[in-house]
Amino acid sequence: MGEFGLIKRLTEDIKPENGSTEKGVGDDCAVLNYGGPHRVLVTTDLLMEGVHFDLQYVPLRHLGYKSVIVNLSDIYAMNGTPRQITVSLALSKRFSVEDIEELYAGMRMACEHHHVDLIGGDTTSSMTGLAISITAIGEARPEDIVYRNGAKPTDLVCVSGNLGAAYMGLQLLEREKSVYYQQLSEAGEKKDSVQFQPDFSGREYLLERQLKPEARRDIIEVLAKAGIRPTSMMDISDGLSSELMHICTQSHTGCRIYEERIPLDYQTAVMAEELNMNVTTCAMNGGEDYELLFTIPLTDNEKVEKLEDVKVIGYITEESLGCALICRDGSEFALKAQGWNPLKSEK
């Protein structure tokens, strides 16, 4: 079962004692009812240096921005609006005042962009690496909240943007890092003379998707404007395959996804080719896209086809049919939750 399965078991059977706890563990956010016209949404993430980010190539400003965005993405994934965040940091001695200013500059930029208030937190020292813990709080009218468990057979499965680019960005960064270390190693005692210039030309989009992802507030707004209310939704942080299985498990359904319909960016395809990787596998299992995965009633098909940056990739089936990917040649493969995401590793 493993430690992460254990924690799931230890927390999922908790019965709420308080009337204000409407939904606890198990979705992108907890949902609280404090009696106002809106429900209060709460989500939290803990990011650890060496596990979720590598400061050798992640600029602190980008890290600050991304660490806020990954939390806001969970609020949007409930069809909510983020309002506040708390930020707790554990800092080791090697951080300078300028470093911390950079980190906060990134966090504040994300807050400003999404009209979110930083309302508190905790700051402490760390004997080891940097730890960033952010809790985001948001709101939604009760009738607007979209859970993972509302998908119905015949619903259409949709995703925003394109998939796999963040994962390819990470591969690129890791490759350039290893080239650098190889040059250092080959230089031996002359390693001070190594002037390494990583080669990212033409790959800027992949880097941006990895280093500075965006939470898809725009998609939430576009759907509301088009009069489309998703029946289920979540953000794609662990990879499409894993997230589809969450929706299907919680909705007691199956699904059919068409390989040819999975949205890919040109750079993602080129990079996968270069690394000799299967681009569909990258799109299905690469994490950190922070796109939205949602299902809509079949009757909304015409409405959704008019939307930019949203693509129908398949449909929901009865549970007994399982979850499958239909490849270009017509063959079917059962989906596996081999999601890869350093931000949610092994969860």
33 φ, ψ (degrees, to nearest 5): -115, 100
| 283 neighbors 135 (Cβ within 8 angstroms) | no
Interface region with a second copy, contact rule CB under 8 A, candidates 14-22, 163-171, 206-214, 300-308: 14-22
In the block, tokens 């290893």 appear at 178
| Nearer residue to a second copy within complex by CB, 153 or 342 | 342
CA distance 294 to 160: 9
Q: Which amino acid is at 4?
A: F
Residue from the set 55, 58, 91, 307 that interacts with a second copy by CB under 8 A: 91
Find the shortest distance in angstroms from Cβ 105 to a second copy.
9
Segment 232 to 291, residues that bind a second copy, using CB under 8 A: none
Find the shortest distance in angstroms from Cβ 56 to a second copy.
14
Segment 138 to 167, residues that bind a second copy, using CB under 8 A: 139
| Nearer residue to a second copy within complex by CB, 122 or 204 | 122
Find the shortest distance in angstroms from Cβ 299 to a second copy.
33
| Nearer residue to a second copy within complex by CB, 48 or 211 | 48
Residue from the set 55, 100, 264, 321 that interacts with a second copy by CB under 8 A: 100
Asked whether position 113 contacts a second copy by CB under 8 A, the answer is no
* Closest to 257 in 3D by CA, of 157, 148, 153: 157
Find the shortest distance in angstroms from Cβ 3 to a second copy.
6
Asked whether position 337 contacts a second copy by CB under 8 A, the answer is no
Q: 248-253, long-range: CB within 8 Å, 24+ apart, which pairs?
A: 248/151, 248/316, 248/319, 248/323, 250/26, 250/147, 250/148, 250/149, 251/148, 251/149, 251/150, 251/151, 251/152, 251/295, 251/316, 252/149, 252/319, 253/151, 253/152, 253/153, 253/316, 253/317, 253/318, 253/319
- Write the binding mask 115 to 134 for a second copy: x where contact by CB under 8 A, - elsewhere: xxxxxxxxxxxxxxx-x-x-
Asked whether position 178 contacts a second copy by CB under 8 A, the answer is no
Find the shortest distance in angstroms from Cβ 57 to a second copy.
17
| Nearer residue to a second copy within complex by CB, 131 or 156 | 131
Asked whether position 168 contacts a second copy by CB under 8 A, the answer is no
Q: Where are the alpha helices (DSSP H) in 154-200?
A: 165-187
Three-state SS for 274-318 is HCCCCHHHHHHHCCCCCEEEEEECHHHHHHHHCCCCEEEEEEEEE
Residue from the set 55, 58, 88, 153 that interacts with a second copy by CB under 8 A: 88
| Nearer residue to a second copy within complex by CB, 3 or 189 | 3
